[in-house]
Amino acid sequence: AQKITQTQPGMFVQEKEAVTLDCTYDTSDPSYGLFWYKQPSSGEMIFLIYQGSYDQQNATEGRYSLNFQKARKSANLVISASQLGDSAMYFCATASNFGNEKLTFGTGTRLTIIP
Amino acid sequence: NAGVTQTPKFRVLKTGQSMTLLCAQDMNHEYMYWYRQDPGMGLRLIHYSVGEGTTAKGEVPDGYNVSRLKKQNFLLGLESAAPSQTSVYFCASTEAGRNQETQYFGPGTRLLVL
């Protein structure tokens, strides 16, 4: 069984500052992936970044980076130089790399960027 | 290239009515999923399919049935709708057996059961 914990229900951040969204996970799978999705007020799910459990380096995608600490079972999302358009719900998720690859999501963090 | 589409976008049902939600993908993906999203709960897996003609239960399957008669389509059925099934439903698809950089989501279907 897999579990994702996001302990920050909401965050307010000043525009242009960096922000870290916390995610801890629990899984018994030997190989797994960690994902972050963004859900703006329009409702669609937007894939942001992926980290494989055996990847040696932290994943980066533009202004997004994933701070992966395997021993701590932590996969925090870092957004550099935040923008007003970053205001949204952010979900952390995990899936086994074997078999059906279904995602288990956390409850999300609502990020609000203040001008 | 439409990606993942869902029909309808919004629906209101009365308790006890039935309906089918359609998910279609044009990426030739093997795996397809149905999730529901309730306030404060994140997304939870209802059913999924790892190929044409196959389906399996997810975390919250009760009250739903699914079918995958064609590779590109994944149908979610509610035989007798209940107010507890008021939710936003998302379909997703992904390739099988590859690194999971991308799981593609549809735009969602908002269902209200009165």
pLDDT score of B40: 76
Residue in B with minimal Cα distance to A10: B40
Band (pLDDT 50/70/90 cuts) for residue B99 is: low
pLDDT score of B46: 96
Q: Degrees (nearest 5) of the Cα angle B66, B72, B75?
A: 20
What's the whole-number mean pLDDT along residues A13-27? Answer: 97
Furthest-apart CA atoms within chain B: distance in Å: 42
Residue in A with minimal Cα distance to B58: A102
What's the whole-number mean pLDDT along residues B3-26? Answer: 96
Chain A residues close to B3, C-beta within 8 Å: none
Q: Does B84 touch chain A (CB under 8 A)?
A: no
State which amino acid sits at residue B18: S
pLDDT score of A91: 96
CB contact under 8 A, A33 and B99: yes
Mean per-residue pLDDT of chain A: 93
* pLDDT score of B1 more than 80: no
What's the whole-number mean pLDDT along residues A91-100? Answer: 81
Share of chain A above pLDDT 90, in %: 82
Residue in A with minimal Cα distance to B109: A43
Where is A98: in which H helix or E strand?
Answer: none
CB contact under 8 A, B42 and A105: yes
Q: What is the pLDDT of residues B28-78, one digit of tens each?
A: 999 999 999 998 778 999 999 999 999 999 999 999 999 999 999 999 999
Q: What is the pLDDT of residues A38-89, one digit of tens each?
A: 999 999 999 999 998 998 899 999 999 999 999 999 999 999 999 999 999 9
